[in-house]
Amino acid sequence: MLLLLSHLAGKSMINILAKGCLAFLLAFSAASLALRGMGDSNLFMIMLVGSIPVFVFASMLFVDHVKQMINEKKGANKTIMLSSIVFAFGAYIILLLLNRIDPQAHAGDFRILLGFITLVSGLVMAASLAFTKSETKELITESDRTPTQVGFDQWENFSLSSTPDVIKKGVTDISKYYSGLQKTS
């Protein structure tokens, strides 16, 4: 999940931090498995430690995308996808912390709740990705102009009126270079 979040972050500080955190989590998981084995409590501890940075980075990206969505009126699908990630990993953290407090209280319900949260979050992310693909297809089919037409359209209403006089004179007055070739009357 940290790889997906670093991809969504683009070229920001979150991307660098997520990659560093991913390296730490891989080392922590390997060391924990080597020292404590494959028991349920150890696996849930690794899941808890891994869920915290995902929740933090997803929350930061979610806030950034909400601001972008409000200001620029775009990016709603990424915001919805990030909200499902924040929901899922926030719920994982709460459930795993409650499981750490009393592991035997709701042992049967614990796995069902984890599965249900994963299912709901996965469905919301899949729907968000499906709508992103449909919006992209609509944008592509909307443009029926050829590349040649697009190239000519960029020069429509072009003029040198906004060009400074010094540059215009340097471009248009080339007679100083060819004074010997000019006819004089």
100-159 per-position pLDDT tens digit: 888 787 777 888 999 999 999 999 999 888 887 655 555 555 456 777 777 777 767 666
What's the pLDDT at 184?
Answer: 59
pLDDT digits (tens, 9 = 90+) for 29-61: 999 999 998 888 899 899 999 999 999 999 998
d(CA 9, CA 18): 9
The pTM for the full model equals 0.67
Residue 102 phi/psi, 5-degree rounding, is -140, 90
Over 80: is that where the pLDDT of 81 sits? yes
Q: Where are the domains of the chain?
A: 2-142
Task: Name the DSSP letter for residue 32.
Answer: H
Buried b (16+ CB within 10 A) or exposed e, 8-28: bbeeeebbebbeebbeebeee
